Amino acid sequence: CQKEINGVSQNVCTLYMPNPNPAEAPLLCDNINDCTPCPYTEHDWICDLGHVACSGPGDGCAGEYCAIGPIGNKQVCYVINGQRSCNYSLACESYYYLHNSVEQCDGIIDREAGCLLFNDTSNPDLNFSADITADGQSPASPDVCTPEFYNDGADSADCDSNTQSGIKVRKDRECAESLFCTSSVEITDADNKTSNVCLSLGRCRQLNPANTSECLSIVNSINPAEQTYAVHDGNYNPTGTEDIRNLSGFSQAGLIWYEDNSQPENNKIIRGNYPPEQMLQLGEEKAIYNAGFEDFNGALVLGWDENDNDGHGNVPAGNCSLVHSNVNPHSGTYALGLKIEEVYSQDQFDLLPVQGYWCLAASQDLYPLNPEQNYILSFYARSLNGAQRVTAVITYYENNDPNSRLGNQLVINQLAPSIWTYFSGVIGVAGQPIPAGAKFFRIGLEVGSSWYNQPGDLAGTVYFDDLKVAPALQIAADERAIKECRLYPADNAPACEYTDNKVYHGWYGYCLESDPNNSGACLQWYPIDSVAGESLSVLGQQAIGYNGPAPLYYCLQAKGNYRDDSSCTNPEASGYCGYRWTTYATLDFSDHTHSFTPNDEYFFFSHFDYNYPNYSEIWGLKQYEIDKVEVKTTANGGDPQFPIIFSTYELDNSDADENSIFFSWFADIGESGEPIDIWDPDPVFCAGCVKLGVKIDFNSQGDIEEIIEYEYDLDGDGDNEDPWAIKLIFHLREYCTYVAETVGESGAEKTWFTRWQNGWQEAQGNVMGYNKNMTYYPYGAIGIDNIDALTAPLEIYSGPPLASPLLAGSPLSVPASVPVPERRCLYSFNGDNDGDYCADSSDCGIGGFCIGIGEYCYDQPSGGMTNGVKCNANADCSAPPYVNCNLPSLHESTPSLAASNRLLNLFAKIGNVWRWSGYDNDYQIYPIDDNSVVEEGEAPQVGHILLNGKAQNVNLTAPGGSVALSFTTDVVDDQLPIDNIKIKWNDGPNNLQNMDVSMYDRPSPLSPHRVVHTYSCVTNSEGNACVYCWDEAQADWVESTAGSCRYPGPYITIQDHWEFCPSTPTNNNGWKGEDAVCVLPEDGIQFTTGPGQTGYIYVNPAF
C-alpha cells in the first residue's frame, strides 16, 4: 500500500508470519491470516520483483539480498521464498534527512524561535560564528573568519557556520537519558594549562544541574545486550521501527522482520550494537614489524618468512608460494599474498609419516606478551574467488628463542570473500587462553593447511593487508571495531602514525558507523576522548623524551682502512706519496721474489709472467672497499722502451668488467718501439700491438683471487722477461663494519633521559664529545631508512647525504691503534682539490666529496665536548669555550666494547647489531654481549594515594557518585618519562584505565596526578539501593548485601621508560624483564587508610 512519509509517497512494507507447517513458506499478512498486511511504519516498504535486480537462485531469489533499479542503487533486505516482492527498509542503507528540503529563516538568529546557524558542508568557507552571534542579530562574522585573516595564525576555532539566513528547526526532542564521562584524567600542556580528558562512558537518567559532569541517576546493567528490535510483537501485530526512535544517537539499532527459532537459517535479522556504555575495550598494543607489508627487498617481504612442507608426502615442491603484490592493496602500495596450487585434506596424510600440510607466512620476530592480558589480532584479507580459507595461528614460546616453542592456537579460520574483509580474533583472557609459561608469540597467516580445510575450499591466492595487534572495541557479541584515525597529524600526513625524521602521532578512535557512500568517512565515533593505549599527548598533554629521527642507527665500529702517510716527504725517493688522508695498499714488482709481507708499506711480488699462487684472499681486500686503483711504473730496468717512471693510470670500480669482474691496465708501445705513455683498460690483446700490463681478478665474493703481470720482449733481444716494475696503489673506502640500531622503525628506544635532554657529557661516556645537533643526525648517527635493504656497505664521510655513497655518520669506534684521519677532498674534477682540507663536500669542487672524520672544535685542549663545528686549526674555532681543534678519540678493540663504553651511555638499550658480510654483500645480524643496561635501573614510586583528598574510606549514596583520586609519582630522572599509567577501580567489567602519557613524574603532594572516577552499582527500579555489585575476584556481578556495595580501593601502577614498575613483593623489585608490561594488581600500589589497611568505597542505600 501507499503511504506519505515526510511529504514523500512511499510503498510501505508487507509483513509475514511463520507458517504453521514449517515445511511451507511463511504466510503473507492479510485479513485471512489475521495479521496486518500494511503495518504503520515510516521506514519500511515493499517493491515488486519486476523492478528488482537479483542474482540469486530461482525466480524468487529466495533469501537473497538484492537491489532496486540499477544494480547497487538501493539495497533490499531480503526476498521471501515464493514471493514476487522484496521487503525493503531504510535500515538497509544510510539516509541523511527526514525531509528533502529545509526551511530558511529571514536572516535573524533566534534560538527560542528555532532559527539557528549551521555548517553547510558543501560550502568549504566558514564565515560566521554561532558562538558570538546573539539572539535577534544577523550572523556575526568576526575578522578572524574572513579570508584575509585565514593564515595569520589567529585562533579561528569560533568560525563554525556558513548558512547566512539561518535554518528553521523544531525543538521536538528531550533526552530522557544521556551519556556521561565515568572516568577522566587531568592533563597539563606545555604552557602549564590543565584540562580533563574523558576515558570511559556511563549512562545517566539525570545529570546534576549544578555540575553537569556528575550523574544523579546512573543506569547500569548486568549483561550487555544488543539493540535489536522486532517490527512486530509476539502476536505479529506490527510495531515498525517505533522502538528505536528515542535511542541515543550513538546507538546503532537492528531490526527483526522475520524470526523462527526452529529454523534460524530462515531468520531475517540485522543485528544492532551494544549501547555505547556496554562496549568494552579489549587488548593491548603490540608493534608488529612490516605489518602493512610495504617493506621488501627483491622478492622478500621484510619481517616475514614463507614456511611450508612442500615436497613431503603427497605434496609437490612449489605448491606454496609467497606473493608481494601491488594490485589492489587494501591500503598503501603493497599487500602480502599466499598462493597454493592444490588443496589437501587431512585424510590424505593418515597413512603417511607426514602429519599434515601447511602453507603460511610467519613473522620472523617473536613478540613479548603478558599472559594476564588479552590481545586482538586483526587484518584485512581477500581471495580471488571467495573459496580460499584464511587461517591465523599464534605460536607461543617460553622465551625469545624459536627453540622454546610451547604450542599453537587457532585464532581465525574463515573463508575469505573476494573483496577486502576485516577479520579479528581475541588472544588471551577473553578469548583463546594463553598457555602457562608463555612469554613470547609469533604470528602465522595460513592458507590451505590440511588441519583447517573444509570441503569446498579451493586452491588460489589470499591477500593480507593492514595487520595489527592492538586494542579493539567489542561493539556487539560477534563484532569488534578496530582503531582508526580520527584526526591525522597533518593535512598531508600519509598515515595516522608515520616517520619523517621523527615519529608523528594522530588521534585514534573507534568508528561505530561508517559512511556507506564514502568508506573513508565515519558518521559516528565512539564518544570518548582517548581510547586505551593511546598517547594523551595528542590531546594536549606535554610530551617529553626522545623526539629525534626514527629509525636511528649508529656506526658501532668502522673498518679502520685509513692510513696517515704524513711521513712521506720525498715522492721521488719513495716512488709514491699518497695524500695524507688517503688509505692504500701497494704492490711492487721491483724485485725477483715470490713473497709478500702484509705489514710492510709495500708488498713484493715477482716480475715474471706468472699467475700468483691461488690464495683465496690476498690481503683481505674486497672489491667493494676499493674506490680506485692506480698502476704506476717505479723502474724501467734501464731500458728506454719501458714506460716512463712514475707514469700513472687509474681506474675506479665503475671500470670493472661486469662479466668477469677484473681490472686491467696495459702500456701501449708504438711500432717504432718508442713508448707513448698511454695506459689502456682494454684487456684484449691485439695483432700488431705490443702491450704489457697487470690484471687483478676478483672472484664472485669480491676477493682478490689473482694478480697477473703481462710482459713481452720489447727490446727484441729474445728475452720476454725484461725486468720492469709497477706499483698498484689501492685507494680504499672507509666503511662501517658494524651497525647498531638504537631507535626502532616505530620510534621505540631507551635513552638516558637527562643525557638526551641536556647534552651527553664527556664524563658520561661521550669520549668523542659528539653533539646532539651535529649536521643531519644527532651524535654522529647514520642517515638511512632500512638497513636490511642495503647491498653495499655504508661509507664514512662528512659530506651531506648523497644517493651514493650512503652516509654512515661518524663512527663510534675504529679498531685499536688505527689512526683517525683528517677531513680531505677526494675525486674532485681533474684532481684540482684532492687532498685539500674540507668542511663538507661543497669545498671539493665538481665531483669531489669530503672524506674523513676530521677535527672538531672542543672545549678542552684534549678531549672535552665539541659543539659540532668542523675545523682544520684552532683559528677555525671562534666560539668560546669551544676553541680547540682536536681529533676525537675513537679506539676500541671490539664492537662490544664500543657498545658498552660508548653507545650504551646514550641509549640504555641497543636493538639489533649488524655486521657487513662481504660474502653475501649485505648486513647480517651479529649478536653482541651486554646490549642493554636498563635492568640496572631503579623502581619508580607511587605514593600519597588519596580519595577526595583523604586517606579514608568513601561513602556514597546509591546509585553512586564520582570520587577524586590523587597520587604522586617519583621516577629516577634518567628513566623518564613515565610511559604508562594504569588504574584498576575494582567496580565493574570495564574497570581498568590504561593511559600512555610520556610525561614527567609528579613527586610533590602539592601537585599530584588527578583522576576522577564514578563508582556505582546496579540499582532497583527506584534507583535508591543496590541490587547487584561487581565482585572482582569472581569477575561477575553478585547480589548486594542489604542494598549496599563495598569496593576495594583502586590499584595504581606506572611504567617508566626503562620498563620498571613500582616495587612490590611479587615483581622482582620492579624489574620484570625487557619488553614486559606492568600489570594490576601484581605491580600496583593500592589505596589504603593506614599501614596494611585496605581502603574501601561504599555505595549505600538512600534509605
- Note whether 89 and 57 are same-domain residues: yes
Using H for helix, E for strand and C for coil, what is the string for 942-1010? EEEEEECCECCCEEEECCEEEEEEEEEEECCHHHCCEEEEEEECCCCCCCEEEEEEEECCCCCCCCCEE
Domain assignment present for residue 511? The answer is no
Is residue 250 within 8 Å of residue 340, measured between CB atoms?
Answer: no
Query: Which residue has 602429519 as its cell numbers?
Result: 355
Of the three residues 209, 244, 272, the one that is the final residue of a domain is 272
Q: 402: domain CATH number?
A: 2.60.120.260
Check the CA dihedral 930-936-937-941 and report its sign.
positive
Give the domain-ending residue among 272, 303, 330: 272
Per the structure block, which three cell numbers stand in for 762? 664527556
- Is residue 306 located within the same domain as residue 268? no
- If phi > 0 it is left, if psi is from -120 to 50 it is alpha, else beta; for residue 261 that is alpha
Rounded to whole angstroms, the Cα distance separating 714 from 691 reads: 9
| The residue to which cell 622478492 is assigned | 299
CA dihedral 187, 190, 192, 198 (to 10 degrees): -20
> Could you tell me which of 1006, 1000, 1013, 1014 has the C-alpha nearest to residue 944?
1006
DSSP tag of 277: G
Q: Write the Ramachandran bin of 619: left for phi over 0, alpha for psi from -120 to 50, otherwise beta.
A: left
Measured between alpha carbons, how far is 665 from 779 in angstroms, rounded to an integer? 43
> How many other C-beta atoms are found inside a 10 Å radius of the C-beta of residue 732?
20
Q: Based on the fold, state whether residues 312 and 423 are members of the same structural domain.
A: yes
The single-letter code of the amino acid at 493 is A
* Closest C-alpha among 100, 98, 99, 47 to residue 75: 47
Strands (E), 39-177: 44-48, 52-53, 66-68, 74-76, 78-79, 85-89, 115-116, 167-168
Task: Please indicate, yes or no, if residue 695 is contained in any of the structural domains.
Answer: yes
Cα–Cα distance for residue pair 529/887, rounded to 1 Å: 53
**Rama region for 718: left / alpha / beta (φ>0; ψ in -120 to 50; rest):** left
Residues 6+ apart with CB under 8 A from 739: 553, 554, 555, 556, 782, 787, 794, 913, 914, 915, 916, 923
Check residue 53 and give its pLDDT.
Answer: 46
Distance CA 403, CA 798 (A): 44
Cα distance between residue 10 and residue 19, in whole Å: 28
Cell (9 digits) for 961: 557518585
Is the pTM above the cut of 0.85? no
N- to C-terminal Cα distance for the chain? 56
Distance CA 92, CA 75 (A): 6
> Is 89 in the same domain as 113?
no
Domain membership flag for residue 879: yes
Same domain assignment for residues 919 and 1061: no
**Distance from C-alpha of 665 to C-alpha of 656, rounded to nearest angstrom:** 11
Question: Which residues are bridge partners to 447 per DSSP?
Answer: 390
Task: Give yes or no: residues 305 and 423 share one domain.
Answer: yes
| Same structural domain, 757 and 851 | yes
Q: Return d(Cα 1103, Cα 1101) in angstroms, integer.
A: 6
Q: Can you list the residues of the chain whose pLDDT is less than 50?
A: 1-2, 5-6, 8, 10-13, 38-83, 90-98, 150-156, 563-618, 636-678, 683-690, 714, 720-723, 801-803
Q: Is the dihedral of CA 994, 997, 1003, 1007 positive or negative?
A: negative
Q: Is 93 inside a domain boundary?
A: yes
Nearest Cα neighbor of 733 from 585, 963, 483, 561 is 561
pLDDT score of 718: 53
- DSSP lists the bridge partners of residue 1015 as 961
- Interatomic CA distance for residues 519 and 931, integer angstroms: 46
639: Cα within 13 Å, side-chain hemisphere: 22
Same domain flag for 239 and 362: no
pLDDT of residue 81: 47
- Residue ending a domain, among 469, 500, 519, is 469
In degrees and rounded to multiples of 5, residue 572 shows phi and psi of -65, -35
CA distances 689 to 167, 667, 696, Å, are: 97, 10, 21
Cis peptide leading into 821, omega within 30 of 0?
no
pLDDT at 614: 35
908 and 1024 co-located in one domain: no
Cβ proximity of 872 and 885 under 8 Å: yes
pLDDT computed for residue 147 by the predictor: 58
Edge-to-edge, what's the strand order for the sheet holding 884-886? 866-871, 855-858, 884-886
Other beta carbons less than 10 A from residue 275's beta carbon: 22
Q: What is the dihedral of CA 901, 907, 912, 917, to 10 degrees?
A: -50
Q: Does a structural domain hold residue 521? A: no
Q: Give the pLDDT score at 260.
A: 75
Residues 1011 and 1088 occupy one common structural domain: yes
Beta strands in 470-551 (DSSP E): 472-476, 479-487, 497-499, 503-505, 507-515, 518-525
Do 377 and 399 lie in one domain? The reply is yes
Place of cell 600526513: 493
Please indicate, yes or no, if residue 173 is contained in any of the structural domains.
no
Do 133 and 165 form a contact (C-beta atoms < 8 A)? no
Residues sharing a CB contact under 8 Å with residue 246, sequence separation 6 or more, in sequence order: 176
- What integer pLDDT is reported at residue 531 of this predicted model? 85
Residue 853: phi and psi, rounded to 5, are -75, -45
* Total domains in the fold of the chain: 6
Say how far apart CA 203 and CA 182 lie, in whole Å. 9
Work out whether the CA dihedral 892, 894, 895, 897 comes out positive or negative.
negative
Domain contains 550: no
**Which value, to the nearest 10 degrees, does the dihedral of the CA atoms of residues 885, 889, 890, 894 take?**
180
User: What are the b/e assignments for 297-335, b being 16+ CB within 10 Å?
Assistant: eeeebebbebebebeebebeeebbbbbbbeeebbeeebb
Distance of CA 525 to the CA centre of its chain: 23
Q: How far is CA 245 from the centre of its chain?
A: 42
The answer to whether residue 214 is domain-embedded is no
Range of the domain at 887: 736-816+825-934
Q: How far is 429 from 414, CA to CA, in rounded Å?
A: 22
Res 930: pLDDT: 85
154-192 in b/e form (b: 16+ CB < 10 A) is eebebbebbbeebbeeeeeeeeebebbbbbbbbbbeeee
Both 96 and 107 in one domain: the answer is no
Q: Label the pairing between strands 228-230 and 254-258.
A: parallel
Q: Which helix (H) or strand (E) holds 896?
A: helix 895-901
The pLDDT, as a whole number, for residue 864 is 83
3-state secondary structure at position 357: coil
